[in-house]
Amino acid sequence: MVGNRAVAYVGAGNVEVKDIDYPELILRDGPGVHPLNVGRKCEHGVIVKVITTNICGSDQHMVRGRTTAPEGLILGHEITGEVIETGRDVEFIKKGDMVSVPFNIACGRCQSCKEQNTHVCLNVNPDRPGSAYGYVDMGGWVGGQSEYVMVPYADFQLLTFPDKEQAMDKILDLTMLSDIFPTGFHGAYSAGVKPGSTVYVAGAGPVGLAAAHSAQLLGASVVIVGDLIPERLEQARSFGCETVNLRDHDNLGEQIEQILGVPEVDSAIDAVGFEASGHGQDAKEAPATVLNSIMDVTRAAGQLGIPGLYVTEDPGAADKAAQQGSLSIRFGLGWAKGHTFVTGQTPVMQYHRSLLNSILHGKANIAKAVNATLISLDEAPQGYNEFDSGVAKKFVIDPHNMFSK
């Protein structure tokens, strides 16, 4: 019997590579699996040999102990791989297909899925709409930072690459299609970015960098990226972004004015989420900072894309309100300025095929933008530690050591 190894959350600040069961076309009981999902049969699913799987900032929130994730949870929702087994009810996906797996788990049958809102599928998570692999309160679907993983509803969800050899050559770009590239693009698209737009992106982590590159693809004239970490700002400048160091200056509008001549932008993107920090030398965690600041610097009738993660429970928050996901947001300011807000998980399937074509035809260079960095499965704990320190890298795990570094 083939074995399986995976990255498991083992307590605040720690992950370990563990031996786990080889996947089946059924959801077994385990850490985080919802009782109503235990024993769920998935003959519509496939077993995927994981070729690449990425460490995401959303994973990092759990590893920091900022959620109610149970110990033993198998992590990983950014999955690219080869189909090696198909369920009885799979008709179109074939063994040997190389595929990108959307991080949203979606049935394809419910009202949400039929309306392309696959981020809020009604049938995969007994607790609430929406689900994902290896994530807290998302139904308990086993994560994909592993050698092998089960993927349900394969015919509906999977994006098949047209040529395997070509895909392997472009793997560092294509691995971003499961989450980070569509998420960054969704942030820019939902912020209304169009040719000539001026755009502010809060956060120069991987999602922020993906959003900045996406804004460029959509035709923005100027993309300004703000962060507290110089190394990340340098990475943003490496592909043509303007930057503002929020540690050195606490007035974002003034910094934008120095670049544009006016203190406002057409569109803004929150790529930070609930672990936001204040601005300035003595900045501390202040979870509403980004939302309030982007309302302040976005022009009247502008749009705000908010792909940054916000949660309903944050046990590590500094105050009781934030622990329940309640933030001191200046909603009246956004209302007065007529802003449009778009929040929530990204409906990956709305974007991934178009972004695939952009990669294959040389229009998108997402791996360069986010500084994709290969590591082995055994190096995953070190990767988590480095990512937590703020390095300007997007770590891509190679579970089977298929690629030379």
pLDDT for position 404: 65
CB 193 within 8 Å of CB 344: no
User: Which domains does the chain carry?
Assistant: 5-179+347-398 (3.90.180.10), 180-343 (3.40.50.720)
Phi-psi region of 362 (alpha: psi -120 to 50; beta: other; left: phi over 0): left
Q: What is the pTM of this model?
A: 0.96
Task: Give me the pLDDT at residue 284, please.
Answer: 84
Q: Residue 4 corresponds to which tokens in the numbers above? A: 């399986």
User: How is the chain split among helix, strand and coil, in percent rounded to 5?
Assistant: 30, 25, 45
pLDDT for the residue numbered 405: 58
Instruction: Report the alpha-carbon distance of residue 177 to residue 163 in Å, rounded.
Output: 16
CB 307 within 8 A of CB 184: yes
Q: How many residues does the chain have?
A: 405
pLDDT at residue 317, rounded to an integer: 79
- State which residues of the chain have pLDDT below 70: 1, 404-405
pLDDT at res. 267: 98
